[in-house]
Amino acid sequence: MAEGSESVAGEGVPQGEAIHEELIAAMGAIYGSHDRRRAVHAKGVWAEGTFTPSPEAARLSRAQHLAADPISALVRFSNASGKPDAHDGERNGGGMAVKLRAPDGEEWDVVCVGPPVFVARTVEDFLELLQLRKPEPETGQPDMAALGEYLGRHPEAQLSVQSTLGSEPPASYVTVPYHSPHAFKLIGPGGEETWVRWRWRPVADEERIPDEEARARGRHHLREELTERVASEPAAMELAFQLAGPDDSLTDPTELWPDERETVVAGRLEIASVIEDPERDGHIEVFDPTRLPDGIEPSEDEILLARPKAYSVSAYRRWDRG
């Protein structure tokens, strides 16, 4: 699905590759099927703001979104779960997706999640892991022995799992960082090429809270906190580019790039208001990490290139139900 905004009501589910259909079905088996909701990241908070790029970013990429003038931004913070009523105090990684719109309408989707790396190298491995996470009818829990055996065979998955389960819940959507585990090529004004990963990070210090406090704050406390925060002044996040080193993989999203790699602040996002869900009457907003402007290109990362097809299946299914 190439467009950022779609009207899909009344259309059928596209005939995609079988594995992308299986991925969405496996997510539904974990979280249940919920009409007109995403298969994962089902619970979200929408916001609007502006993005102002830095001069350093314009030197790295000719993308018009990184020129000098501020541009509009549509933002969706989310819980990683596929349950629309998930409690905000759960440890699940979360996500931050931003649609940057240039004056001529060209869109760039900057899609990030909490863990700094992904949980699988291949689509087949990711599907196997999802299927193993399906709760058993007798216990309501997955087969932990089978999951442990999978992690033993796939040690590359453990960093993502540890990052998700080992991080306390956020105090606010805007007090924790969000990462893209994928590499992208920036093309400069003179044709120079630079490989990067990007991330959103809070301008203020990172702040998390104990599980007990997060549960006590209520099921929807992150939305309430963000609404209250931006009522007085915009909430700020930085877009940062981490530059690849000579030995960093450009195609393995499970590999962590070292912290000592050079990082460039690419711009500042100021979130001005929380808004109502814009998805209604057959209109949806799709955040696609391969929707890139001229001046930015994707890597050959298998997981990255598979995501748009799975998103397409999910998008059409959620508007075909009911």
Per-residue pLDDT band at 58 (split at 50, 70, 90): very high
How much is the average pLDDT of 56-62?
A: 97
In CATH, what number is assigned to the domain containing residue 215?
2.40.180.10
Active-site residue, selected from the candidate residues 20, 34, 41, 154: 41
Is residue 87 part of the annotated active site? The answer reads no
Query: Distance between CA atoms of 318 and 311, rounded to whole angstroms?
Result: 11
Per-residue pLDDT band at 319 (split at 50, 70, 90): low
10-56, pLDDT tens digit by residue?
333 333 468 888 998 888 898 887 776 787 888 999 999 999 999 99
123-164, pLDDT tens digit by residue?
999 999 999 999 999 999 999 999 999 999 999 999 999 999
What pLDDT, on a 0 to 100 scale, did the predictor assign at position 317? 61
Range with the lowest mean pLDDT among 11-25, 131-145, 286-300, 303-317? 11-25
Range with the lowest mean pLDDT among 15-19, 106-110, 279-283? 15-19
150-203, pLDDT tens digit by residue?
999 999 999 999 999 999 999 999 999 999 999 999 999 999 999 999 999 999
Which string of DSSP letters, residue by residue, matches 19-73?
HHHHHHHHHHHHH---TT--SSS-SEEEEEEEEEE-HHHHHH---GGGSSS-EEE
Q: What is the 3-state secondary structure (H, E, C) of 225-249?
A: HHHHHHHHCCEEEEEEEEECCCCCC
Query: Distance between CA atoms of 170 and 161, rounded to whole angstroms?
Result: 17
What pLDDT, on a 0 to 100 scale, did the predictor assign at position 84? 87
Into how many domains does the chain fold? 1
What is the domain extent for residue 212?
Answer: 5-320
State whether the Cα torsion 287-289-291-294 is positive or negative: positive
